[in-house]
Amino acid sequence: MAPVPGSGLAKGLAVTLRTMTKKTVTEQYPDAQPELPPRTRGVIGLFEENCTVCMLCARECPDWCIYIDSHKETVPAATPGGRDRSRNVLDRFAIDFALCMYCGICIEVCPFDALFWSPEFEYAETDIRDLTHERDKLREWMWTVPAPPALDPGAEEPKELAAARKAADKLAAQQQEPDGPGEEDRT
């Protein structure tokens, strides 16, 4: 059976009429903040105290939009006769959000949990050169990072916690014994 001429046009007009009669839903953005999903990727926050200047984030970034400068400081020995240590001190940590593609690789490769996703999205600038944000601004965004979700109550306990609890229980059991091993040898 051949299609009726003009049936496609009628279907299109029917969709248009249905859409025209529906009530519109408009977000009043500046006055009412949008409800963001929990894993929203806004900007990257820096927890500076955890940064060891290992440079993994800058090396793994496909856009090369992370700039890090540092210097070494000598830390005196903690004990007499000990060896002086050197540590890296962060001088500059900046991210150019004009280049960033928000892939999250820098956050994933950071072994010290120094970088986090913040849901902050209101950081527009009138000049593209102002989209390079230094560590002070990245540190401010750290306070907008949401807390991690709670663990699943039915999930298995993390191995680290189980091992620490086992060691603590063993130590408590040894301290509870009235005559520990080797007590008779101390006379």
Instruction: Extract the annotated binding site for [4Fe-4S] cluster.
Output: 51, 54, 57, 61, 100, 103, 106, 110
Residues in the chain: 187
How far apart CA 134 and CA 10 sit, in angstroms, is 57
d(CA 122, CA 124): 6
Pure H helices in 30-92: 56-60
* Alpha carbon distances (Å) from 171 to 168, 178, 184: 5, 14, 20
Q: Which residues are annotated as a binding site?
A: 51, 54, 57, 61, 100, 103, 106, 110
Query: How far, in Å, CA of 76 to CA of 73, rounded?
Result: 10
